[in-house]
Structure 1
Amino acid sequence: MTAELVRGQNHPLSQARLEIRITAGVPVVAGAALSDENGTARGDEWVAHPGAPTLPGIEVSRQAAADHRLAVDLAAMPEAVHRVNVLLALPSGAGGPLRFGAVTAPRAAVTGLDGTEIARYTLTGLDAESAVVALELYRRQGGWKVRAVGQGYAGGLAALFTDLGMPGAGELAGGIQEAVARGLARSVAAPPPRPADGDRTRRAAAPAAGADQPGSASRAADPVPPRPAHPYEASGPYAAQTPAGPGERGYEPTADSAQPTAATGSPIDYTHPNRGHATAPPPPPQAPPAPPGSPAPPVAGDAAGWSLDERLYNQVWGMFEDLARTAAAYRSAVDFADSRMEKELDQVLSDPRSRLGSSGDAAREAARAKRAQLVDQAAAVLDRDLAQLTAEAGVVEPAFPPAYARWDNPVWHGYRVPTEPPMALRLGDLHLPERPALRIPLLMRLPLERGLWIDSGPTAADVSALDSGELRQRAMETAVSVAARLLAAHPAGDFAVHVIDPAGSAARELAPLVRAGVLAASPATGAAGVTQALGGLTQRVDLVQMALRGGATDALPPGLDTARHLLIVNDFPHGFDDRAVTALRYLADEGPSVGVHLLMVADRQDAAAYGPLLDPLWRSLMRLTPVPDDHLADPWVGHAWTYEPSLVPPGSQVLDHVLAQVAIARTKIQ
């Protein structure tokens, strides 16, 4: 039976290996500070945080998130550690709330490896605090107990660490926030909040519940986002500035949010934007009954949602999360097996009587055998889960609509211009080293909430041996692929693409767009062309913002294009003066809220001469690479995922076919 703790209450812990699950209404930082018998944390090496997530006996998340799972092994705690303080903090400078009193009360639960709750505590009564000690695990008469603490600090992590007696508290707090900012900058944005677990019927792959991991937790479906009928209506995305999901820039839910999360216990509004009644979406298709003892066969669209597109989108994100947690469980099991073997070997070597001779050899062999057994158990569960996800990917991929499909999918050969945009767009594929062949589509919600930056410089994981010129060409090909997808995903006339190519070096890569006549204007070249292109888009942003702020959208110039706009900038910063750089920063910050989006093709090393001037620009964009690179992190456990762009197969005519359809549709509405 679960113990519902109140502040100051304690509860005994009968298990050494536990999970601490944190649920919050907004992304929070989770960490743990170890302390001695006097309650003192002796230094930075006694704190597990996103920048240093692993300590003996504990592992925390690598980035800010609305949900966390902290792995704890009390038997592996050093003898000098008498307390484990579980810490929560709000990330600074991320555009979110700055105090816990403005958000839903966080909840902390201590669970066993099977997911059964042992004790839980809801942190109520917080106000101006931005950091809090949620729980304390402490030694008591040879055992361990958990205490509900709920001690908040208006001074943030610096004040919390100072209270723990830690030297250099301010420097450590700043370093943690910097690590969180770096994690957010490379993180794949999570989908919007989902309803309670029971509302999602998709079968989730169970995480590797080997020697040290919990069983799987069911996940809920993403709510269907309302889509306005016209971009300049009072309820449109330009006026409302569509909120981002957890992990995205600008995400700032409150207790009064229009879409309540599962953490609040409020129902999700599944009202479809084109239906006048508020009812739940139809149930997803059910898999046919499977033979006893075997898993049910996967079904495409096996998730909640009104349309197949919505169900497929929710299903892909469920697969993404399943694979992230399954891999995390396997890696944690291997780490535990390694640490256990090392501990047993240390015990053997510490005893002179067993250090040498047959008894020592037998003890070493037994430790290695235990390690191999634990790893084999975890690998068996991993293989089972990966096989299930691979089978699911095999039925989902052929069912994708064009916006979600690879360029080699036959669905593109029957492409017709849509009458309304989809929920999301495929930007590429993600995979982990445990199973590189299992690819998860990287689906980004529409409309775009942040710009894109395609890095044309060398990457750490680049093994293609491409020279700098070839990398720039591949980067521009990736940009053209993304632009073509955006054009193909929107109704005719609803999306416009502009290009700035100061030196005209990307003529070959831009040829499909130019040849089809789908660009809003010829690629801008030279200083005058750059100035004219940037001036036109910044003026559009200014006009729409002034109209929205003044409530006078009907006063906009009659000739103003109401379409969304994408600006492709090639070979930055060559050919750009300070005024052009300032204009680009303005478009990156202010453009998305009024339908102007930025796609930059640049090598960041080339911009080093600008120093910190361009750092805010790079941080505001989502980095993609033209070659495989492991720079993206998931929003759940922070794995480094290898990203591969979605490019047209060599020799394929599918891009010309799609762009021709777009051009014909645009001609008909003119």
Structure 2
Amino acid sequence: MTAELVRGQNHPLDRTRLEIRIAAGGPVVSGVTLADERGALTGVEAVAHPGAPRRTGIEVPRQAAAEHRIAVDLDALAADVHRVSVLLALPVGIGGPADFGAAAAPFVTVTGLDGTGIASYTLTDLGAESAVVAVELYRRQGAWKVRAVGQGYAGGLGAMLQDQGLPQAAELAAEIQEAVRDGLARSIPAPDPAPTPPAAAAPAITPPEAAAPASTPPANSTPTPINYHHPNRRPTAPPPPQNTPAPTPTEAPHTQAPHPEAPPTPVAGDAPGRTADERLYNQVWGIFEDLSRTVAAYRSAMDFAQSRLAKELDAVNADSRNRVGPAADAARAAAHDKHARLAAQAREVLDRDLAQLTAEAGVVEPALPPALADWSSPVWHGYRVPGDYPIAVRLGDLRLPECPDLRVPMLVRLPMNRGLWIDSGTPAMFRGEGAPDGFADSFGPDAFGSDAFGPDGFGNGPDGGEPLDAAEVRRRALDTAVTLAARLLAAHPAGELTLQVIDPAGAAAPALAPLLETGALREAPAAGAQGVAAVLGELTRRVDLVQMAVRNQAAESLPPDLDTAEQLLIVHDFPHGFDDRAVNQLRYLADEGPSVGVHLLMVADRAEAREYGPVLDPLWRSLLRITPVPDAHLADPWVGHAWTYEPSRVPEGSQILRQVLTDLAEARRARGHSRTSES
């Protein structure tokens, strides 16, 4: 399954002959730089671009286009090439947006030659930049990995190449843009005006090659309906008859009238997969994707209705002789009526699709196994320690403002390929700053109205009351860490995950009580500078030894005292009590640990960590950030909506978490006695 990366995240490559596929909303220039171990370029011959598309092991397209395929043969690269950076830039002098903030988010996928997806990355946080390093393939200890970079440059190609140490950066950037302009002039003639379709012709519905945030269509274009449905799932309603007439000027082109036939009855596990759990996992992802595209279609239709209203009102006001009077008032009233009809039609289609997705979610939720189920599910009362790893774990729920009552489980595959950062600072929406990371600038009362945010209220606390104070948010962050640790322990076979805790100041004892009292946490949390150094040193040693053993296929040479179980390290109150050496060790564990079974669960205030300067940026960017209270900071990989994340909490007064941890501790002790008897 394709790994969906975010900025700073890396993923191992299991092959050396690759394709890098790029999809954008309009023409972009693609290129590749070949850098040494320090990230420096030796000269212009280290850059593959439209004017020189072939370098040893690399071939890039010759033109600017909305879609690209770059061929890469890592085995053919020179021995001194350690970093292969994929560049994207907007062409100059041929029209189109001046920066990526005004264009659809580019989507990059690394695949095998057979098209099998390895990793993908959506560049959703660009603004004034006109050039960007999208991803890089880098060599580390003899193995190749891909990292999502997303580093943009407002100065364009020249600034990007100069940043990589190329002395001739400005000259080469001009040469690339000139080659692009020449290629477009020769190979991409301007299209002829499309003939007006006959009234009886049905509008074509073409699935988009890459999902991007919906935008208002140009005034002189006729938008086509959006097919937002997951390609591997049954449609929520049968398609319209083939003789459906084309929309008239008073009909919304983004929507279709509901079909009179009833949609199919949802069935749990009705998705591809070899096992029941895999089918349920794929079905949850299908609901998530369908909801994302459904809301994208609704927002696009509403944008169209609003832009049409503005255009018609402008036309009335443009005539100074007729902008007042009964005729002008009637024209304005007609424009507002038309807008109301288009908005109502869009909402009708949205409500229809939401009803179907809600019904499907209602069938799937009770069928989920413990690893994927909410803590309130009755399935936990029949919990048994698993004998094998589940396909994924549930970290919480996701929702969108248009449908606050429809919550989709947030599932993460096992083994996890990145750690977690639980932000103990006040959420951005509580500070009145909107959603962080640039994912959701449109979230706020000005965008959807105050009623669209659901019962939580984005300016209030999670229970609709006053905003939480800093101490309460920190307490909930640590509680969230404990419940997530319990869920991860419950998802592993007995003894296959070892939990450790670093608590420099010893302030986490009350929250850690369930783990300590049940024996799930076998050793007291490490405190003080010596305790921090000892734990981090041992885990760093473990990563180094296991990496060497895997690379040399010598697992039997591992020291007998090495704990070969996967490791989960909870780090509380970071960065207080951590020196530079400890910070570097944490960065190393975050980057290299997941591939050999060492995972971080950081509990820290990201805003506070920023005060320590850019040294901590690579650390928190390499981890998946979640929050102890609802916050809209996660973006989906298809459209880029800002999703509100809600942590999964144990019901008030429930003893299910302690019961699960007790069962795990007993199963681990029983396994230990069995091994002792056998020896």
Task: Please confirm whether the aligned pair reaches a TM-score higher than 0.5, indicating the same fold.
Answer: yes
Q: 1:485 to 1:206 in 2, by over 3 A?
A: farther
Look up the equivalent residue of 2:342 and give its one-letter code: L
| Aligned mates of 2:180, 2:134 — CA distance in 1 | 9
Q: 1:603 to 1:90 in 2, by over 3 A?
A: closer
Deviation at residue 305 of structure 1 after TM alignment: 1.2
Q: Which of 413, 424, 429 in structure 1 is aligned with 2:397?
A: 429
Does the alignment pair 1:324 with 2:257?
A: no
Map 1:619-634; keep pairs closer than 5 Å: 619-634=621-636
**Alignment match, 2:102:** 52
Q: Which of 295, 299, 317 in structure 1 is aligned with 2:267?
A: 299
**Alignment match, 2:426:** 458
| Aligned mates of 2:94, 2:616 — CA distance in 1 | 31
**Alignment match, 1:102:** none
Look up the equivalent residue of 2:389 and give its one-letter code: P
**Alignment match, 1:341:** 309
Deviation at residue 212 of structure 1 after TM alignment: 3.0
Percent identity over paired residues: 58
Look up the equivalent residue of 1:523 and give its one-letter code: P
Contact 1:90 1:97 (8 Å CA) reproduced: no
Look up the equivalent residue of 1:632 and give its one-letter code: L
Map 1:430-445; keep pairs closer than 5 Å: 430-445=398-413
Superposed CA deviations along residues 197-250 of structure 1, whole A, max 9, x for unmatched, are 87x35445799998233789xxxxxxxxxxxxxxxxxxxxxxxxxxxxxxxxxx
Contact 1:461 1:628 (8 Å CA) reproduced: no
Deviation at residue 64 of structure 1 after TM alignment: 5.0
| Aligned mates of 1:33, 1:337 — CA distance in 2 | 27
Look up the equivalent residue of 2:252 and give its one-letter code: A
**Structure 1 residues without counterparts, runs of 5 or longer:** 1-23, 35-39, 54-59, 70-86, 99-128, 146-178, 181-195, 217-290
**Alignment match, 1:248:** none
Q: 1:215 to 1:529 in 2, by over 3 A?
A: farther
**In structure 1, the residue corresponding to 2:601 is in which secondary structure?**
strand
**Alignment match, 1:175:** none
Map 1:484-495; keep pairs closer than 5 Å: 484-495=486-497
Look up the equivalent residue of 1:92 and give its one-letter code: V
Superposed CA deviations along residues 532-560 of structure 1, whole A, max 9, x for unmatched, are 11111111111111222223221111232
Question: How many residues are paired up?
Answer: 467
**Alignment match, 1:551:** 553
Q: 1:342 to 1:305 in 2, by over 3 A?
A: same
**In structure 2, the residue corresponding to 1:642 is in which secondary structure?**
strand
Q: Which of 562, 567, 570 in structure 1 is aligned with 2:569?
A: 567
Deviation at residue 650 of structure 1 after TM alignment: 1.6
Map 1:350-365; keep pairs closer than 5 Å: 350-365=318-333
Contact 1:404 1:443 (8 Å CA) reproduced: yes
Superposed CA deviations along residues 272-318 of structure 1, whole A, max 9, x for unmatched, are xxxxxxxxxxxxxxxxxxx9921121111010112211110000000
Contact 1:50 1:63 (8 Å CA) reproduced: no
Q: 1:49 to 1:402 in 2, by over 3 A?
A: farther
Superposed CA deviations along residues 154-189 of structure 1, whole A, max 9, x for unmatched, are xxxxxxxxxxxxxxxxxxxxxxxxx99xxxxxxxxx
Contact 1:202 1:315 (8 Å CA) reproduced: no
Superposed CA deviations along residues 463-514 of structure 1, whole A, max 9, x for unmatched, are 2111111111100111111110010011001111110011111111111111
| Aligned mates of 1:68, 1:609 — CA distance in 2 | 28
Q: Structure 1 stretches (4+) deviating beyond 6 angstroms? A: 40-45, 65-69, 87-90, 129-137, 142-145, 205-210
Look up the equivalent residue of 1:331 and give its one-letter code: R
**Alignment match, 1:393:** 361
Q: 1:373 to 1:484 in 2, by over 3 A?
A: same
Look up the equivalent residue of 2:25 and give its one-letter code: G
Q: Which of 287, 310, 315 in structure 1 is aligned with 2:283?
A: 315
| Aligned mates of 1:130, 1:550 — CA distance in 2 | 46
Q: 1:206 to 1:573 in 2, by over 3 A?
A: farther
**Alignment match, 2:252:** 211
Contact 2:634 2:643 (8 Å CA) reproduced: yes
**Alignment match, 2:25:** 31
Map 1:161-172; keep pairs closer than 5 Å: none
| Aligned mates of 1:599, 1:306 — CA distance in 2 | 31
Q: Which of 69, 91, 96 in structure 1 is aligned with 2:134?
A: 91
**In structure 1, the residue corresponding to 2:494 is in which secondary structure?**
coil
Contact 1:29 1:90 (8 Å CA) reproduced: no
**In structure 1, the residue corresponding to 2:547 is in which secondary structure?**
helix
**In structure 2, the residue corresponding to 1:31 is in which secondary structure?**
strand
**Structure 2 residues without counterparts, runs of 5 or longer:** 1-17, 29-89, 111-119, 123-129, 138-144, 149-178, 198-211, 214-228, 241-246, 431-459, 462-466, 673-679
Q: 1:655 to 1:586 in 2, by over 3 A?
A: same
Look up the equivalent residue of 1:510 and give its one-letter code: L
Deviation at residue 370 of structure 1 after TM alignment: 1.2
| Aligned mates of 1:142, 1:562 — CA distance in 2 | 65
Q: Which of 479, 483, 486 in structure 1 is aligned with 2:485?
A: 483
Contact 2:255 2:349 (8 Å CA) reproduced: no
Look up the equivalent residue of 1:630 and give its one-letter code: A
Contact 1:456 1:475 (8 Å CA) reproduced: yes
Deviation at residue 31 of structure 1 after TM alignment: 3.2
**Alignment match, 2:513:** 511
Deviation at residue 461 of structure 1 after TM alignment: 2.1
Does the alignment pair 1:526 with 2:569?
A: no
Look up the equivalent residue of 2:26 and give its one-letter code: A
| Aligned mates of 1:588, 1:130 — CA distance in 2 | 40
Contact 1:431 1:438 (8 Å CA) reproduced: yes
Superposed CA deviations along residues 99-145 of structure 1, whole A, max 9, x for unmatched, are xxxxxxxxxxxxxxxxxxxxxxxxxxxxxx99998996946468699
| Aligned mates of 1:130, 1:62 — CA distance in 2 | 19
Q: 1:130 to 1:488 in 2, by over 3 A?
A: farther
| Aligned mates of 1:133, 1:88 — CA distance in 2 | 19
| Aligned mates of 2:94, 2:631 — CA distance in 1 | 31
TM-score by length of 1: 0.64
**In structure 1, the residue corresponding to 2:481 is in which secondary structure?**
helix
**Alignment match, 1:500:** 502
Q: 1:666 to 1:96 in 2, by over 3 A?
A: closer
Q: 1:142 to 1:203 in 2, by over 3 A?
A: closer
| Aligned mates of 2:587, 2:121 — CA distance in 1 | 34
Does the alignment pair 1:417 with 2:385?
A: yes
Contact 1:65 1:635 (8 Å CA) reproduced: no
TM-score by length of 2: 0.63
**Alignment match, 1:384:** 352
Q: 1:142 to 1:477 in 2, by over 3 A?
A: closer
| Aligned mates of 2:497, 2:646 — CA distance in 1 | 25
Q: 1:133 to 1:422 in 2, by over 3 A?
A: farther
Contact 2:543 2:598 (8 Å CA) reproduced: yes
| Aligned mates of 1:378, 1:495 — CA distance in 2 | 49
Contact 2:421 2:624 (8 Å CA) reproduced: yes
**In structure 2, the residue corresponding to 1:536 is in which secondary structure?**
helix
**Alignment match, 1:669:** 671
Deviation at residue 604 of structure 1 after TM alignment: 1.6
